[in-house]
Amino acid sequence: MEETRLYESYEEGFSLCTRVRDRLPDLIEGYLDAMTAEAIRSHLAVCYMCNKVFDEMERTIKLVETLPFAEPHMDFAPPIMAAIKMQAEETAKPWWKWRPKPE
């Protein structure tokens, strides 16, 4: 994936807000270089809408992290494996057996 930085010039037609919002998950996860992270933080300081999106994203992540872990039941495996096997058998048929019938 090509690394793009907010402080580099871009073609016309790209909104700075669009580029900032695309990079917000990277900012939250800490994947951005220092200069790009600072450019995004500077934009968030002056742009109400982007800052609102950023705050909502952070709150959503915090809420999801507080959810309790649900342990799946052991009896889920047999029906799932049976469905996978049935699907594999269905797709192994010749094409003329699974194509839709003409009306």
Other beta carbons within 10 angstroms of residue 76's beta carbon come to 9
Asked, for residue 80, whether it belongs to a domain, the answer is: yes
Q: Establish if 10 belongs to a structural domain.
A: no
Residue 29 burial class via C-beta count within 10 angstroms: exposed 0-12, middle 13-18, buried 19 and up: exposed
- Does a structural domain hold residue 21? yes
Residue 8, domain member (yes or no)? no
Nearby residues of 26 by Cβ (< 8 Å), 6 or more positions away:
32
Confidence band, pLDDT 50/70/90 cuts, at residue 97: low
3-12, 22-31, 48-57, 85-94: range with lowest mean pLDDT? 3-12
Asked if residue 7 belongs to a domain, the reply is no
- Evaluate if residue 14 carries a pLDDT over 90: no
39 vs 75, higher pLDDT: 39
The residue range of the domain holding 78 is: 16-96
DSSP state of 31: -
How many folded domains does the chain comprise?
Answer: 1
The reply to whether 87 falls in a domain is: yes
Query: Does 76 map to a domain?
Result: yes
pLDDT, mean of residues 40-50: 95
pTM of the model: 0.56
Question: 98 or 65, which is more confident?
Answer: 65
Residue 20: inside a domain, yes or no?
yes
